[in-house]
């Protein structure tokens, strides 16, 4: 069996970095682990066929993440399965032309949110595309699995929740490094609710480090003295995790589109054995049992977030216990190897 991955960002050269620098392979979502289970897997992107400058020009000015693979459509037919969270333009072509092969498996980060109430033209087109083009759906939250099954009854038997995997051998505790920092938050996407987080710790003596893009911090400048922001390499991020006593994942779902936001960061922090405070969403509820392996707080509630952070900082025994249980959960449910094995079982069943 041959599986083709279509990514929303450039991956060319990334595997060499992973192999040579000892990086994690989380961004490949099990692709390099599928051969362990008898499945050949690879990816295609225009950078493999065009000059780098021309490929970059196309991405920036003509073809966004949903259409960037259209020029490669004719190459899809040598694969048994396509697995992607993006490339909706290619899926629409498949739906319109009625191709039965290859099988198209959607990696669901936002399907229910994209369908919405199904009233706008875009929502109607998206629903048509999924109904006519998709052959299966992998969700990363239990609630999303239920919602998708209700939205697309014909796909119900081919819709499956698989907890998102992370490299637990890369993201792991290190008892030799003491937790000298206080609070850490990580996230580059626009769905991070840094306003609530900043409000939660300002006017306190709680040190907070936010790892994100500089533009996400601009609205809060100048930052209070106890808050700092930075960009880091993957290895530097690992050190930030190790130093932190508490990890905070502040999320906003105001757009109503991406309910799965923050999941990759969450499973990393769990694998690191961190005590986590996260905004309550139904995706977070698929991983965090409130009070056992993390703390959930209401969206936009800076007071609840402050209380949860302060409680964990002041109660070392509770903080350590929650961190240990989080690590155990990651090892049992979010191991990248188990994720790949579950994917392989699903692909074999679908094909």
Q: Is 9 exposed, middle or buried (0-12, 13-18, 19+ CB in 10 A)?
A: exposed
Whether 103 contacts 350, CB under 8 Å: yes
pLDDT in the model for residue 71: 94
Residue 108's alpha-carbon distances to 54, 203, 232, in angstroms, are 30, 40, 28
- Which residues in 135-165 are b (16+ Cβ under 10 Å) and which e? bbbbbbbebbbbbbbebbeebeebbbbbbbb
pLDDT tens per residue across span 298-321: 999 999 999 999 999 999 999 999
pLDDT in the model for residue 20: 66
pLDDT tens per residue across span 196-250: 999 999 999 999 999 999 999 999 999 999 999 999 998 899 999 999 999 999 9
Q: Which CATH number fits domain 2-165+336-350: 3.30.2010, 3.40.50, 1.10.10, 3.30.70?
A: 3.40.50
| CATH 3.20.20.70 at 183-333, yes or no | no
pLDDT in the model for residue 21: 63
Whether 287 contacts 334, CB under 8 Å: yes
d(CA 339, CA 341) in angstroms, rounded, equals 5
pLDDT in the model for residue 164: 98
Stretch(es) of the chain classified as CATH 3.40.50.2000 = 183-333
pLDDT in the model for residue 258: 67
pLDDT in the model for residue 14: 74
Backbone angles phi, psi at 242, to 5 degrees: -60, -35
d(CA 83, CA 43) in angstroms, rounded, equals 10
Q: Please identify every stretch of the chain with a pLDDT value under 50, giving residue numbers as ranges.
A: none
pLDDT in the model for residue 256: 61
């Amino acid at each position: 069996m041959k599986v083709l991955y279509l990514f929303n960002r450039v991956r060319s050269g990334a595997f060499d970095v992973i192999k040579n620098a000892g990086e994690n392979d989380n961004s490949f979502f099990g692709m390099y682990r599928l051969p362990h289970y008898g499945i050949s897997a690879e990816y295609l992107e225009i950078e493999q066929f065009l000059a780098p400058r021309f490929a970059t020009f196309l991405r920036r000015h003509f073809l966004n993440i949903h259409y960037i693979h259209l020029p490669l459509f004719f190459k899809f037919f040598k694969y048994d399965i396509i697995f992607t969270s993006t490339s909706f333009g290619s899926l629409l072509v498949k739906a319109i032309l009625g191709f039965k092969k290859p099988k198209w498996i959607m990696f669901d980060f936002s399907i229910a949110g994209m369908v919405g109430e199904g009233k706008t033209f875009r929502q109607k087109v998206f629903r048509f595309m999924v109904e006519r083009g998709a052959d299966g759906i992998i969700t990363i939250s239990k609630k999303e699995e239920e919602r998708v099954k209700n939205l697309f009854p014909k796909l119900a038997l081919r819709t499956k929740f698989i907890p998102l995997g992370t490299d637990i051998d890369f993201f792991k505790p290190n008892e030799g490094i003491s937790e000298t920092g206080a609070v850490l938050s990580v996230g580059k996407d626009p769905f991070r609710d840094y306003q609530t987080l900043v409000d939660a710790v300002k006017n306190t003596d709680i040190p907070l480090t936010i790892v994100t893009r500089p533009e996400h911090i601009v609205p809060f400048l100048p930052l209070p003295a106890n808050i700092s922001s930075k960009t880091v390499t993957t290895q530097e991020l690992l050190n930030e995790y190790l130093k932190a006593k508490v990890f905070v994942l502040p999320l906003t779902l105001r757009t109503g589109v991406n309910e799965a936001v923050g999941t990759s960061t969450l499973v990393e922090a769990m694998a690191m054995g961190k005590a986590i405070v996260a905004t309550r969403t139904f995706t977070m509820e698929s991983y965090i049992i409130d009070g056992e392996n993390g703390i959930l707080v209401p969206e936009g509630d800076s007071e609840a977030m402050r209380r949860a952070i302060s409680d964990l900082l002041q109660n070392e025994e509770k903080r350590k216990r929650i961190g240990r249980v989080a690590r155990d959960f990651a090892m049992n449910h979010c191991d990248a190897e188990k994720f790949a094995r579950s994917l392989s079982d699903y692909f074999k069943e679908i094909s």
